[in-house]
Each structure stands twice: as C-alpha cells, then as structure tokens.
Amino acid sequence: LFPATWVPLRLFQLVAVGLIISNCPGTWKSRKNPIITIMKQFLVHLTLSDEWYRVFFGEKRVGLGCFVAFSYFIATTSLVITARNVNGISALLLLPSLIAVIISGYMNLIIFWKRLEDRHRKYAIDIFNERKDAALKALKL
C-alpha cells in the first residue's frame, strides 16, 4: 500500500511542474527564470526521493535514511515555497507530497529509535548475563 501512494503523488508533482512551465513567462536563457529554479529543485527533490527509497527500503539503513529523509524534507519544502511564489495551484498540488515526506520521515525516525532502544536493551541484558556468569563462576571457586 505504501509504494502505491507515491504514484498519484508523482502525478500531482508532474502536473504542478507542468503548470509552472506552461504559465511562466521569460526565456530559458535568463538566469532569473523561475522555470530553471523549479526544474533544479524538482530534480533534487526526485533524486532525494529515490535515494531515500533505496537507502531505507533497499539497503535497510535506517540511520542514514533519517539523514536522507531530512534532506528530502528540506528539498520538498523549498520546492513548495518556490512553486507558491510562481503559481499557487502548483504549490497546492505539491502539498500532499510534502505531507507524505513528513509521514515517511517520521516513520523512519520511529523505526530508528526503536532499533536503538532494542540495541541498548540487548547490550544491558548481555552485561547482566556476563556479570551473572562471573558471579556464579566466583562462587564455584
């Protein structure tokens, strides 16, 4: 179910960027053209999206996934803000993606903390067992 939610979100993103490109005046040669800025931000957004998916689901590196998710959140927020300055409807179309990034990052963080707690718990149990074994060994001597 989770990956299936990204299909409509990608469609919203493409429509939002398409609206900006179709309604934005200016030439491609201008350095201050918002189309160039939006396209750069959109490509960074897509790259971080794919990277988070690869790191979190593919490699199962939850700690690194937290870092990538945070970067992904910053890139998506920047994209929404820039889109709002150019076309308000495009920004509205990008908001579900921002909400999904927040939920994904939160999920990633919860799993990270859970794994961290489990490691500390296992470490404490291992220390207890070592001390117990040492105490029993000392009593037998």
**Per-residue model confidence as pLDDT tens for the chain (141 residues):** 467 888 899 999 999 999 988 887 665 566 677 888 899 999 999 999 999 999 998 999 999 999 999 999 999 999 999 999 988 999 999 999 999 999 999 999 999 888 888 877 787 788 888 888 888 888 876
CA distance 66 to 2: 18
Does the pTM exceed 0.85? no
Residue with tokens 């493409």: 14
Tokens at 24, concatenated: 């934005």
